[in-house]
A = this chain, B = another copy of it.
């Protein structure tokens, strides 16, 4: 099996190293990843400037490229142009930080897996729900291995990928995997306003993650309870429940 590995924390991050080592037990690992941190880039593509690809040597990989672009760029450029063959699966991560609830729409990690899905390849994103830079990645790497090993057999429908969020708990408290839906939590955002030496303001994003509705089958709740949350997500954005009502209002 050929596994394309990418992430949004950059090719040198601890998360992609742990993931690469885990995927090497499954098959041939190809890495195409950003050359630097690209968190919260959403599903960004680089269209107004060209991309560069630097071939690198990375442990456990047959091919590795660092790209001056976003996670979605990496998947698109890798599969369409750089690689001599199509990967069988795309695995993105291990992200530092939760991609549950609304975080999924901001996530470069998830967007890379979405791009793989758009290109017709079974794909998954893996995140460890902590921002601690020195967090133990071993549980997340094992979970990534277990899910990736089954990814082809799951026969996900076209356009659907897995968003996997692993809790930060001691092994003794870890409960296993649970299939969940996207939670309803959100950020209460604000900005830290500072002044530069010339007295001009600048704004740092800061936020607090709020529990809006505690969904018992939601990804956040599962992670809080010590489960790995596996959410099947897709990029079908239509709110179908609204279609008829709006038709009545716009096309009476």
A45-78 at interface with B (beta carbon < 8 Å) = 45-48, 50-53, 72-73, 76-77
A40-B51 contact in complex given A237-B234, A239-B160, C-beta closer than 8 Å? no
Q: Which residues of B contact A102 (CB under 8 A)?
A: 118, 235
A205-B243 contact in complex given A105-B235, A181-B238, A233-B238, C-beta closer than 8 Å? no
Which residue on chain B has the smallest CB distance to residue A246?
B179
Which of B46, B179, B193 is in CB contact (< 8 Å) with A247?
B179
A11-64 at interface with B (beta carbon < 8 Å) = 37, 39-48, 50-53
A217-252 at interface with B (beta carbon < 8 Å) = 217, 230-243, 246-247, 249-251
**CB <8 Å contact, B37 and A48:** yes
Measured CB to CB, the closest approach of chain B to A157, in angstroms, equals 7
**Band of interface residues on A:** 35 or more
Residues of A within 8 A of B (CB): 37, 39-48, 50-53, 72-73, 76-77, 80-81, 102, 104-106, 111, 114, 118-119, 150, 154, 156-157, 159-160, 163, 177-179, 181-182, 186, 189-191, 193-194, 200-205, 217, 230-243, 246-247, 249-251
Would you list 28 pairs from A and B whose C-beta atoms are within 8 A, ordered by A residue? A41-B42, A42-B42, A42-B44, A42-B45, A43-B106, A46-B205, A47-B205, A51-B203, A51-B204, A52-B201, A52-B203, A53-B201, A76-B205, A77-B203, A81-B190, A81-B193, A105-B235, A154-B246, A154-B249, A156-B242, A178-B250, A178-B251, A179-B250, A182-B237, A231-B237, A232-B239, A233-B238, A236-B239
